[in-house]
Amino acid sequence: MNTARPKVLIIGSGAREHALAQALSRSARDPELLAAPGNPGIAALARTYPDVKADDVDAIVQLAATENPELVVIGPEVPLVKGVADRLTEHGISVFGPSRAAARLEGSKAFCKEVMAAAGVPTASHTVVKSVEQGITAVAARYPAVIKADGLAAGKGVVIAADAQAAREALTEFLVKHKFDTTQVVVEEYLQGQECSLFALCDGVNAIPLQSAQDYKRIHDGDRGPNTGGMGSYSPMPNIDSSRAAAITAQIHQPLVDEMRRRGTPFHGLLYAGLMLTPAGPKVIEFNVRFGDPETQALLPRLRSDLLGLLEAATRTGGLKGVQLSWDQRASVTLVLASHGYPESSRSGDLIAGTERLGPELVLTHAGTARDEQGRLRTAGGRVLAVTALGPDLPSARANAYAGAGEINFDGSQMRTDIAAGVRA
């Protein structure tokens, strides 16, 4: 008997992983999906393993060794930086995601800067410092100053300091109080312009761009308030069409992939360039080594190509050579619904109503949700749900997304009202 259904294990529990599961489930090869830990939304598409946490490398390896999937897709950065891809590869299991050595591009901002310099990739000028006084000297009284903890910090390791006092406070937090276990800090030039997320699929040799997206990091309208994991996104950016995306990839992603290959640590997986579109051209703010959240929720519903085939191709050296991606030409907008108190805290247990009222043209992805004993959906995290809509243009996609999100209610719900508003072509 031919059991041709490939088994795919997805690692992670957010809306990004739910969007990956949705896109993989559209594959013509009808994969059997597994997810660890997964969430209540993913559970509709995959067998979930709620006890296998995404940062527990041993548990992931054990599950993969038992289930023996054709492919493991790693959503978040923490297991990658811990070396989950190397461990799975040792067990002969294919994995979408970079090795520990290549994941250092996200795991250490100082290392990433060093590789960018070697590769000639445009980025903010910088100095790596190990003490507060070195940091103050490096800032050289230029404000705002950008101060970044070297290691992973779950989005809380960057301070844009308006003056010397704020700079000193940030340097002290990172270098003296050892917030995020960091022993060094990157002090860098402040860049001005529009931010753009551009992802590329990489096979160790080639970098194939996805379409552009923009995300909104601050909690409140008008980019006010503290940073979050991301409150919304849209795709594509009207000023970054496919040919511009290809040109940026040739200038930004490809040299980095070449340099990592030259070093004997080839990059396989998703290379995320966070860019500032400056008057002097695009400059890198940072690289991440996995799909972004919430850009992925806006991008994948537009992808017409078979995601499973692409992720598999990326695991093989040169496997993406000549690949052309096919896209839905419509625009998409993703709105995040966050819980009471987010991002400082998050309230769990609020009853979520209205998800069943979303029409088939809307895509709902779960992040911080849980089912109670009666099977009702409740909040269980900071970012709770994301709603994505397509439309013939950005304003219609935006109207569709807000109409859909308006159907969903829970106490304390927070949503920005200005996602994809006033975007100029």
Ligand X SMILES: Nc1ncnc2c1ncn2[C@@H]1O[C@H](COP(=O)(O)OP(=O)(O)O)[C@@H](O)[C@H]1O
Binding site for Mg ion (CB under 5 A): 274
Helix intervals (H) in 146-252: 164-175, 242-251
Q: Considering beta carbons, is residue 217 or 316 the nearer one to ligand X?
A: 217
Residue 403 touches which of ligand X, Mg ion, none (Cβ within 5-8 Å per kind)? none
20 binds ligand X (CB under 6 A): no
157 binds ligand X (CB under 6 A): yes
Q: Which of 56, 150, 188, 350 binds ligand X (CB under 6 A)?
A: 188
Would you say 273 and 284 are in contact if contact means Cβ atoms under 8 Å apart? yes
310: closest CA among 5, 115, 23, 39?
Answer: 23
354 binds ligand X (CB under 6 A): no
Residue position matching structure tokens 């069943």: 356
Q: Which stretch binds ligand X (CB under 6 A): 162-170, 190-198, 296-304, 350-358?
A: 190-198
CA-to-CA distance for 17 and 199, rounded, in angstroms?
16
40: closest CA among 21, 66, 65?
Answer: 21
Q: Which stretch binds ligand X (CB under 6 A): 128-136, 187-195, 298-306, 326-334?
A: 187-195
Q: Is 68 exposed, middle or buried (0-12, 13-18, 19+ CB in 10 A)?
A: exposed
Q: Which of 8, 19, 146, 237 binds ligand X (CB under 6 A)?
A: 146
Would you say 245 and 255 are in contact if contact means Cβ atoms under 8 Å apart? no
Q: Considering beta carbons, is residue 160 or 166 the nearer one to ligand X?
A: 160
Point out the residue whose Cβ comes nearest to Mg ion: 274
What's 179's DSSP letter?
G
Would you say 74 and 84 are in contact if contact means Cβ atoms under 8 Å apart? yes
Q: Which of 190, 226, 376, 417 binds ligand X (CB under 6 A)?
A: 190
Q: Which stretch binds ligand X (CB under 6 A): 9-17, 150-158, 202-210, 416-424?
A: 150-158
- Which structure tokens are listed for 217? 């990091």
To the nearest whole angstrom, how small is the minimum distance from the Cβ of residue 325 to ligand X? 25
To the nearest whole angstrom, how small is the minimum distance from the Cβ of residue 378 to ligand X? 29
Q: Considering beta carbons, is residue 15 or 88 the nearer one to ligand X?
A: 15
124 binds ligand X (CB under 6 A): yes
420: closest CA among 391, 382, 378?
Answer: 391
One symbol per residue from 195 to 214: x for binding ligand X (CB under 6 A), - otherwise; what is it? x-------------------
Q: Which stretch binds ligand X (CB under 6 A): 51-59, 83-91, 153-161, 355-363?
A: 153-161
Residues 293 to 312 in contact with ligand X, rule: CB under 6 A: none
Residue 124 touches which of ligand X, Mg ion, none (Cβ within 5-8 Å per kind)? ligand X
CA-to-CA distance for 412 and 346, rounded, in angstroms?
10
Q: Considering beta carbons, is residue 188 or 259 the nearer one to ligand X?
A: 188
252 binds ligand X (CB under 6 A): no
Non-local CB neighbours of 141 within 8 Å, separated by 6+ positions: 164
CA-angle at 198, arms to 182 and 71, nearest 5°: 80
184: closest CA among 107, 123, 260?
Answer: 107
Would you say 232 and 294 are in contact if contact means Cβ atoms under 8 Å apart? yes
Binding interface with ligand X (CB under 6 A): 124, 146, 148, 155, 157-158, 160, 188-191, 195, 217, 274, 285-286
